[in-house]
Amino acid sequence: MVLKTKHFGNVEINEEDIITFEKGMPGFESNKKFAILHKVEEDNPFKWLQCVDDGKVAFVIINPQIFKDHYEVKLDGVISDELNIESLEDVIVYSIVTIPEEVSKMTANLKAPIIINAKNNKGCQMFLEDEKYGLKHTILDEFKKMGGK
């Protein structure tokens, strides 16, 4: 299947790699199907959550454990049921990244992670009750706290 995207042009994806967000994403509820795209460079931790329904909609994402020590998401029963999660080993977690003009000030939303069940390709964005995580964690500051991992 060929996707027409704003950032990558035409991209070939496998239909079995499409992730379904049954409720869409907050603010983008009508967009239900997404694919994860990434550049080939192995050392690049950033990926794109590209909407299949609308090639203009895409989110930069990152695995928060790359830059935030001990980042932890406690799934509630509602999310586990919604995504049909049978094992935590099947769960992939991403954070949406905001990249301002001054790239060194890019932030990640740790308060509302993207949860994906890799076994059945169902996903959702959940909101954590935990007050230690916020909407804008400066990624480079977090890397520094971790000793530049």
- Quick: pLDDT tens for 126-146: 999 878 888 998 888 777 777
The torsion angle over the Cα atoms of residues 13, 90, 147 and 107, rounded to 10 degrees, is 60
For the cut 70, the answer to whether the pLDDT of residue 108 exceeds it is: yes
Tell which phi-psi region holds residue 24, choosing left (phi > 0), alpha (psi between -120 and 50) or beta.
left
pLDDT at residue 42 in the model: 65
**Structural domain count, the chain:** 1
* pTM: predicted TM-score of the whole model, two decimal places: 0.90
What is the span of the domain harbouring residue 127? 2-145
The domain that holds 6 is classified in CATH as: 2.30.290.10
For the cut 60, the answer to whether the pLDDT of residue 149 exceeds it is: no
